[in-house]
Structure 1
């Protein structure tokens, strides 16, 4: 499975010409709609979306939005929202494994609160603030099966969706219980990773009416065995990142009258897996030399209730959601302490002065303690409880005047315990979580309370021109407290009693939109919209109180878009935009010998300019072609000047993990083999250009993330009515080293940690529906 960089380069060079041929063929296929006689078939342009919190047809919605139906998601083998990058320009997901994902839209990314809102139905989900106040890096991910559609709203959605949606919003809308029928579905997948282990998954759904036309329940369950492919050369173990997840949801729909609908839902998802990270310095793909465990152990529970009442000209919607997450993040930090198990290390870290010498007794004690943590991980149990409520009223009469007004509240409580836990030097497995094995112990408590009022109004003049204006008032309070129960001299930390700091802020964000429908098949719109996310308080030992708080950052997005149907079955959309982002929340580290505490500070500004192109076509019966292109030029527009942040960026530096180009295309062809049997073949291809892990070229921990291409192939047979299907698939057809994250820090001793897509994967997927 493993080989050196020279062999990697040779293999990639040999495959590059094949990829170019594939891309040329794909390009030729994408221009076919202009040459072929097109006819009207079911197309994603006809999807009805609820991005504006009311029903609108996708092509009639005057904003940049990508949507894909559940059937299309299933045909493409989509099981996670990370796969939506194939369907959405300017969407980037920095994937560090299940439960450790950062979602980026239009290059809006920075440490701190999320810049993209993620919703499952009406329920927002939240990452953990961890020890670095970086909730954006750990977005939870529920499995996608029995999905009605997925919507990706590009650009700030501050008025309707509030904080955390400054770059955009991702919405997963699941199928709801049906009160008039019994139906069920079961799907299974078996796979094998090239050079790795076997993987398998199963998903099942059953829909049962309890009272006809009044009450029904829909239950969905899943189990997933991850295929391992990362080897540990230090211990000689293989496929260490194999793990599992399981979960499901139960949905109840009650419709006592035609006007009233009550939806109750409970979601559960558990993930247990070692980290898929590998180390570049080994010189081998998918190989680590870690001396201790890394992994993610995650439980997500969501409970929600939604009431919809149709009063005729208006509709009322009330939503309450309780999100409960238990997460234990484990990261190998053994390399932090390399070279410190000697007399010089004792003088520096134990005495804090290299001009002094440790006594024999001091040295013996120091070496005993340091030798233990040469095999250690940061073991961080985290608990998030988030209660959100929304009450809104919307117009429904379909006239020229449409509006939505509402209220929102959130109360999020997070507790993080960060410990340095030793591992067995013979196996790398963590030792028991007891005091004698814990060499650092810190607790952080974080509470965010928000309330907001919002309104969005639109009026359509003479069936052509529509003007929209929206505003949101927000008010938040952030309280952060912490203590250190056990210090660590290598971190320059000592036992510290509990202290607490608070910050608060309020303000407005706005949205203005004008759209003009030249015909039913051509619309042009322009929009100026604002987004924001809350600030907070750093809980960093030794940080001056005046620097503890950091404020919210905000941006303005200006865009111009065209939505068109250029011929029957062919949709073509183009958007250009500029984003001006001020007072960026920037990740940094405290100064001082051995310090590894992260913090957030406001520093500098950024300007992002980009363009997005989408093409969706059904040129002939059975052939579906989809392509999207995103160009993102995201740079600092001001120097980042701060007394707190180390290795700050300068004007012109590119934002981290934002490639300039991302391209994706899908070609799917279905043809009848017999009266009761269809054949289908599908190709998904994507290209992502290079990016960098940090802002400043002078940052010693900066790493380049190389460009990569990914090609997936599926082919098989299915029933014409969709009752069953059987597909063979090959993911990562050309076995590309598709690296989405390369990073380094003092916690890795300067080594480069790498996260990538799995190697070439072969598999079989089966689906059966019962209706």
Structure 2
């Protein structure tokens, strides 16, 4: 693998230094010109009190650095430009008292409008952070890459509301708040919507766990988001915001590290990105490539093997941007990733630490492919975006079924999606978005069971769905400080499916029943949403919102029979308060309380053959409380804290569930009742532009249960994950030393490794204490 990365590294190192990008800003109001520059140059600009937002400014065109363009914009307006960092600037009156000394704490937040404009792009209409009517968590790309890129695990470690199963990279299911269905990868649609920009990543497949190199930010919207995102957003949305291609600019970045895991093998990671102008300032290419090997730490004494669970990840993505003129842009992109796990990462609880026994390796592969086309247009504040994606995902797993048998499961998914929307951001106290979408998903699940060298195909299923949707949402500010929002989504879903390799007895004796099961069917749903918010104090917003979400039904396998499960639906009423902006103000706070009603819950249980099957287990309710806070007492120190409480219950088990001895339960699985996080960071200048940055965090995950029924009733959770990271360097180059799992604790992230060993307790331990030495550079 090392040889294959040498050309990439050479290309990155040989890339010329960053030149000024091509800027094209028409004459008009200062505020509109600044917003256009921010979009073209990927910078953030705050306009302070005393500077007229509507002041007329001249056109600015040419190959200019962002600060040079800003200075031209404000020339003659009586304002000046102050650089906060390389991508954050402030426009303030030229006659101003001296800035506060670095040793003094920053001024308290005065008003949301005074802050650098953080835009919640996941709102689909460019809502300012301070105006968003709900809880949104935004993690900057700089924070995600600090200490080494870790994919979804790195994101979870920074949030209290996001959780996951832990079968392995590319195999996991994500959950937000208390909305969790099951522990297995099966026919049910995900409860969390995942997006790469405006492209949907998955439908009913697991989290692809794309590595988050060259990312601007990740936005997490909590609570149902069906009005804007449709089916599969019961718990919320995870949206990856990429750094877009920059026209007329040449730049590159590279990072690499080596890690040592206690009780395990070493690891290696390398990744880089490059932005290249292809045709002057009309076409640009931005590409990312990476390779990672994570050292194993689980031993299998029965086979005489140590550190069996090594995982290798390789992938990349590229986007080619065309400036088609007249504010039209066209992006063509591709994303590829391959994950190979040599064995499972679970351990036997009653065995020596970090060991399990199996007759052979229980490995897996996870492949993800995505092609995308995105077309955009801007008409003086009115914006159009059409996004089309074609994704193929394949997950192949093998399990030791005992008695010399192997069980294999192959999940293949084809997802084709398009969304076209038109919107106007909030302006003159009114903003709106309207659009339509089309989703086609085909998911095949093939199974085989038998001798290791010749397993026999067993019953599988194919599920197909076609969703056509129209949606819209609008916000109105009838009086200053009060915003009202209403929206709705009308979805028509056509579902079909059939059994694969069905048992002969089933095929002959139940042909009529099978015909009824596989017949096409359709359903139409209207999902409304309403919200209101009030700015009661400077920088403070109170909000209340009501939203719904749903998932279509489908087919699953139960004891070699194909059975149907119905769609489920959630309705959430939430209220909360937000103060300040994380990372920008001396103090920020977000707190919410939510009540969720969940009807016809889709969940997995263990069938008579010892395999997962899906059914509707009844109705339930979820109470959620969440608090997130940040504090910056000085410019050097910052602290953050989060606490999430979830109380979930099945309040009305279905008749089918009550007749199954394996199903009875009261608590919805996989979500801890309590989760908490503490973080701290210190940054200071050592000499000139040489900086020291130190960060530390601790995240506690409380107890939860594995799944539905006594066979999946094992306890999991109740562990503490810790990290410490330090970086010394300049903006363009630095050295990083990081340490994770400081106490070298084992814990239990997930009480499952194979469904064929439920008679013995299984745990998924934390990765043992690991130290990583890394370097990073920008050109």
Give the equivalent residue in structure 2 for 1:625: 639
Deviation track 1:222-267 (CA, whole Å, cap 9, x = no partner) reads: 0001111011011110111113110100111111225211111100
Give the equivalent residue in structure 1 for 2:347: 279
> Secondary structure of 2:150's match?
coil
In the alignment, structure 1 residue 523 sits paired with structure 2 residue 541: yes
Q: What is the alpha-carbon distance in structure 1 between the residues aligned to residue 115 and residue 157 of structure 2?
A: 14
In the alignment, structure 1 residue 460 sits paired with structure 2 residue 536: no
In the alignment, structure 1 residue 553 sits paired with structure 2 residue 624: no
Give the equivalent residue in structure 2 for 1:758: 767
Give the equivalent residue in structure 1 for 2:176: 105
In the alignment, structure 1 residue 734 sits paired with structure 2 residue 743: yes
1:286-435 map, 5 Å: 286-334=354-402, 374-396=403-425, 398-420=427-449, 422-423=451-452, 431=453
Q: What is the alpha-carbon distance in structure 2 between the residues aligned to residue 188 and residue 568 of structure 1?
A: 33
Q: What is the alpha-carbon distance in structure 2 between the residues aligned to residue 604 and residue 282 of structure 1?
A: 35
TM-score by length of 1: 0.81
Give the equivalent residue in structure 2 for 1:581: 598
Aligned counterpart for 2:650 among listed residues 636, 646, 649 = 636
Using a 3 Å threshold, how does the CA distance of structure 1 residues 645 and 290 change in structure 2: closer, same or farther? farther
Give the equivalent residue in structure 2 for 1:536: 554
Count of residues in correspondence between the two structures: 663
Give the equivalent residue in structure 1 for 2:465: 448
Give the equivalent residue in structure 1 for 2:701: 688
Using a 3 Å threshold, how does the CA distance of structure 1 residues 649 and 265 change in structure 2: closer, same or farther? same
Deviation track 1:267-295 (CA, whole Å, cap 9, x = no partner) reads: 00001112333332442222110112212
Deviation track 1:100-136 (CA, whole Å, cap 9, x = no partner) reads: 1110111101142111101111121226xxxxxxx46
Using a 3 Å threshold, how does the CA distance of structure 1 residues 525 and 486 change in structure 2: closer, same or farther? closer
Q: What is the alpha-carbon distance in structure 2 between the residues aligned to residue 519 and residue 643 of structure 1?
A: 50
Moved more, 268-277 or 196-205: 268-277
> Does the aligned pair in 2 maintain the 1:395–1:402 contact within 8 Å?
yes
1:155-234 map, 5 Å: 155-234=223-302
Q: What is the alpha-carbon distance in structure 1 between the residues aligned to residue 128 and residue 470 of structure 2?
A: 26
Q: Stretches of 4+ moved more than 6 A in 1?
A: 40-45, 492-499
Deviation track 1:13-59 (CA, whole Å, cap 9, x = no partner) reads: xxxxxxxxxxxxxxxxxxxxxx9844479999953221210222323
Q: What is the alpha-carbon distance in structure 2 between the residues aligned to residue 258 and residue 740 of structure 1?
A: 52
> Secondary structure of 1:101's match?
coil
Q: What is the alpha-carbon distance in structure 2 between the residues aligned to residue 234 and residue 729 of structure 1?
A: 34
> Does the aligned pair in 2 maintain the 1:40–1:568 contact within 8 Å?
yes
Q: What is the alpha-carbon distance in structure 2 between the residues aligned to residue 178 and residue 304 of structure 1?
A: 18
Give the equivalent residue in structure 2 for 1:479: 496
In the alignment, structure 1 residue 512 sits paired with structure 2 residue 530: yes
Give the equivalent residue in structure 2 for 1:609: 623
Deviation track 1:295-332 (CA, whole Å, cap 9, x = no partner) reads: 22121110011111112352111110000123212222
Deviation, structure 1 residue 176? 0.8
Using a 3 Å threshold, how does the CA distance of structure 1 residues 421 and 768 change in structure 2: closer, same or farther? farther
Deviation, structure 1 residue 483? 3.1
> Does the aligned pair in 1 maintain the 2:334–2:370 contact within 8 Å?
yes
Q: What is the alpha-carbon distance in structure 2 between the residues aligned to residue 40 and residue 643 of structure 1?
A: 55
Give the equivalent residue in structure 2 for 1:132: none
Q: What is the alpha-carbon distance in structure 2 between the residues aligned to residue 113 and residue 760 of structure 1?
A: 35
Using a 3 Å threshold, how does the CA distance of structure 1 residues 456 and 662 change in structure 2: closer, same or farther? same
In the alignment, structure 1 residue 769 sits paired with structure 2 residue 778: yes
Aligned counterpart for 2:129 among listed residues 58, 70, 78 = 58
Give the equivalent residue in structure 2 for 1:661: 674
Using a 3 Å threshold, how does the CA distance of structure 1 residues 568 and 301 change in structure 2: closer, same or farther? closer
Using a 3 Å threshold, how does the CA distance of structure 1 residues 538 and 251 change in structure 2: closer, same or farther? same
Q: What is the alpha-carbon distance in structure 2 between the residues aligned to residue 503 and residue 410 of structure 1?
A: 16
Q: Which runs of 5+ in 1 are unaligned?
A: 1-34, 128-134, 335-373, 424-430, 432-436
Q: What is the alpha-carbon distance in structure 2 between the residues aligned to residue 639 and residue 243 of structure 1?
A: 40
Q: What is the alpha-carbon distance in structure 2 between the residues aligned to residue 142 and residue 46 of structure 1?
A: 28
Q: What is the alpha-carbon distance in structure 1 between the residues aligned to residue 610 and residue 697 of structure 2?
A: 42
Tell me the C-alpha RMSD between the 2 structures: 2.7
TM-score by length of 2: 0.81
> Does the aligned pair in 2 maintain the 1:741–1:755 contact within 8 Å?
yes
> Does the aligned pair in 1 maintain the 2:657–2:663 contact within 8 Å?
no
Give the equivalent residue in structure 1 for 2:200: 124
> Secondary structure of 1:407's match?
strand
Deviation, structure 1 residue 82? 2.7
Q: Which runs of 5+ in 2 are unaligned?
A: 1-102, 183-187
Q: What is the alpha-carbon distance in structure 1 between the residues aligned to residue 104 and residue 381 of structure 2?
A: 45
Deviation, structure 1 residue 221? 0.1
> Secondary structure of 2:130's match?
helix
Q: What is the alpha-carbon distance in structure 2 between the residues aligned to residue 701 and residue 462 of structure 1?
A: 53
> Does the aligned pair in 1 maintain the 2:727–2:734 contact within 8 Å?
yes
> Does the aligned pair in 2 maintain the 1:553–1:585 contact within 8 Å?
yes
Q: What is the alpha-carbon distance in structure 2 between the residues aligned to residue 565 and residue 485 of structure 1?
A: 58
> Does the aligned pair in 2 maintain the 1:312–1:397 contact within 8 Å?
no
Deviation, structure 1 residue 486? 7.7
Deviation, structure 1 residue 717? 0.5
Moved more, 304-313 or 758-767: 304-313
Give the equivalent residue in structure 1 for 2:166: 95
Q: What is the alpha-carbon distance in structure 2 between the residues aligned to residue 759 and residue 44 of structure 1?
A: 41
Q: What is the alpha-carbon distance in structure 1 between the residues aligned to residue 484 and residue 546 of structure 2?
A: 12
Q: What is the alpha-carbon distance in structure 2 between the residues aligned to residue 661 and residue 620 of structure 1?
A: 30
